[in-house]
Amino acid sequence: MAGGARDERSVADKLFAIADAFAAGEELTLSEVAARARLPLSTAHRLLGEWVEWGGLVRGDDGRYRLGMKLWRLGVRQPTARRLRSAALPYLEDLLESTREHVHLAVRDGLGAVYLERLSGRDAVPVISEVGSRLPLHATGVGLVLLAHAGEDVLHEVLASNPRKYLPNTLTEERELRIRLAEIRSLGLSQAVEELTRGAFSVAAPVRDASGEVVAAVSIIAHVERRGEPQFALGVRMAARGISTALGWRP
């Protein structure tokens, strides 16, 4: 390729670096994109043009670029997200109706829990998760459930990553994490108070597919004053069981 000596990165690398600049869903100017993708302005401009022509990015009237509906349509076709979400939605809706708090469905992605779905009651407690968010395994209800059913190597990676203590109740020490994960496995449920969000408690349970493997977790995040109410544990258990059955799991 001409000019290869000046820039070793492939065209694909550069195109994907441009997409990565939009990972937070922001609207960006040409120079912001060029800076984030570490590309010369002229290269960024040309490659942005390719993205816009395809429809993956859109250029607004103000000259800023943003993710396009084409990328959204492609993303929502992702088979795992689509299959899990479609199996789970009726159960998540039941859970929402009976609690009016936040209802989550998440899968593990490396050392994070990625939120596939979130339904929220109108007066639910303020939380930072939203669809597409990736929150740490050790500090969230769904994350701890997913971690409890991941391999020993994942736990090692979490411990090696210097896990952050968001609040006094966040578990970061190996010994306390191991006790908690064993408890989650034996109860089939994670219950915690103020691990990531002040004023909130969480109840989470594992979702299994036909092979019996834990493929997702479902949770409720509710106002901490309501933590004594029995419907949270019951509802999360029933939802997790219903979704697992819909995925072909047989106990």
Contacting range for its own copies; rule: CB under 8 A; set: 67-75, 144-152, 213-221, 232-240: 67-75
Q: How far is the CB of 192 from its own copies (least distance, A)?
A: 25
- Contacting residue, 29, 42, 72, 173, with its own copies by CB under 8 A: 72
Residue 72 buriedness (CB in 10 A; 0-12 / 13-18 / 19+): exposed
**Binding residues for its own copies, how many (CB under 8 A)?**
53
Among 99, 120, 129, 190, binds its own copies (CB under 8 A): 120
Range in contact with its own copies (rule: CB under 8 A) among 115-123, 144-152, 191-199, 223-231 = 115-123
Question: Considering Cα of 16, then 17, then 23, then 29, what sign does the dihedral take?
Answer: negative
Examine residue 79 and tell whether it contacts its own copies (CB under 8 A). yes
Residues with Cβ within 8 Å of 217's Cβ and at least 6 positions away in sequence, in order, are 104, 105, 106, 107, 113, 141, 142, 143, 145, 146, 204, 205, 206, 207, 240
Is 224:201 a contact under the CB 8 Å cutoff?
yes
- Token pair for residue 25? 């869903």
Residue 73 interacts with its own copies (CB under 8 A): yes or no: yes
Q: Which of residues 124-143 bind its own copies (CB under 8 A)?
A: 130-132, 134
Binds its own copies by CB under 8 A, chosen from 35, 119, 159, 224: 119
| Closest distance to its own copies from the beta carbon of 238 (Å) | 14
Q: Identify which of residues 30 and 159 has a Cβ nearer to its own copies in the complex.
A: 30
- Could you tell me the smallest distance in angstroms from the CB atom of residue 76 to its own copies? 4
Which residue in 67, 62, 157, 77 sits closest to 112, CA to CA? 157
Contact 163, 139 (CB under 8 A): yes
d(CA 246, CA 76): 20
Closest separation in Å from C-beta 169 to its own copies: 28
Residues 6+ apart with CB under 8 A from 155: 147, 177, 178, 181
By the criterion CB under 8 A, which residues form the site for its own copies?
1-2, 10-13, 15-16, 19, 22-25, 27, 47, 50-51, 54, 56, 66-69, 71-82, 85-86, 89-90, 93, 96-97, 107, 109, 114, 119-122, 130-132, 134
